[in-house]
Amino acid sequence: LTLRNKGSAVVAPILLEGRVWGELYATRLSGQVAFTEEDCQLAEVLSAVLASGIAQAERFSQVEHLVYSDPLTGLANRRAVDLALERALVEYQVSGDPVSVVMADVNGLKFANDNEGHQAGDRLIRSCADAISQATGNVARALAGRIGGDEFAIVLPNVTLDVAEKVANSVLN
């Protein structure tokens, strides 16, 4: 404290699920009135309020993930794809920026499921999702999603047809 010209400090841990997530830290300059026990109690209350807000934000994030992602692939789900396409089309109406959509349907999934079991089919779907994710990873604002059992879509706002074709070809390779 002395090196920083501080006369007193109060620190209260921010606890989340029984673990220290961070800390609330306040100081006063040298020569100012030192923190009191009441100040320490206030810091503890404030850290509890912060912890509650952080926990709520994390729960909201988890719910949002469940609402908008496909549990098998980790890609966006149909709801998220529909919303992204709707936003892109609204932007198109306003700005005239192009919107491209790449659709993919996995061939042979029924055969894999029937002959090798659903776990093999799930592996096939996940490997397709990985290829789609890699193909879209460097395209700004691209959203890749699984919209049905073996159907995928990639929404490409502000992407021309030639770039969309390159994305589609990189999925196939």
What's the mean pLDDT when you consider all of the chain? 94
**pLDDT 10s digits, 15-30:** 999 999 999 999 999 9
| pTM of the shown model | 0.70
Q: Which pLDDT score is estimated for 25?
A: 96
**pLDDT 10s digits, 74-115:** 999 999 999 999 999 999 999 999 999 999 998 888 888 889
- Assess whether pLDDT exceeds 90 at residue 65: no
Distances (CA, A) of 22 to 15, 35, 133, 160: 7, 20, 34, 45
**pLDDT 10s digits, 76-86:** 999 999 999 99
Q: Which pLDDT score is estimated for 14?
A: 97
d(CA 148, CA 145): 9
